[in-house]
Amino acid sequence: MLDKKKKDKLIAQFKKKVNLRKKLLRYLEKENLASFEKLVAKLKIKISRRKDLLELEEEILPAAEEAEEEDKK
């Protein structure tokens, strides 16, 4: 077995890699949605938070557009 110091070091490295992957996926989603979806499908990654964000955007964007139209009048 690993001693505590080595185990903590391995866990920290793993968390760093996971966080980096999440950041890269978020960037790709913003910049190139088609590539993002293709990669997610290929790697069989479940994106749960994205669904919530898309639903919020669908609610917020029409309301914002209506407010802009009213301001123009």
pLDDT in tens, 11-27: 888 888 888 888 888 88
Instruction: Give me the domain span that covers residue 53.
Output: 4-72
Q: Per residue in 40-56, pLDDT tens?
A: 889 888 877 665 566 65
Burial class from Cβ neighbours inside 10 Å (0-12, 13-18, 19+) for residue 45 reads exposed
Work out how many domains the chain is built from and give that number.
1
Residue at token pair 């992957």? 21
Token code pair at residue 37? 């979806």
Name the pTM for this structure: 0.53
Structure token pair of residue 39: 């990669």
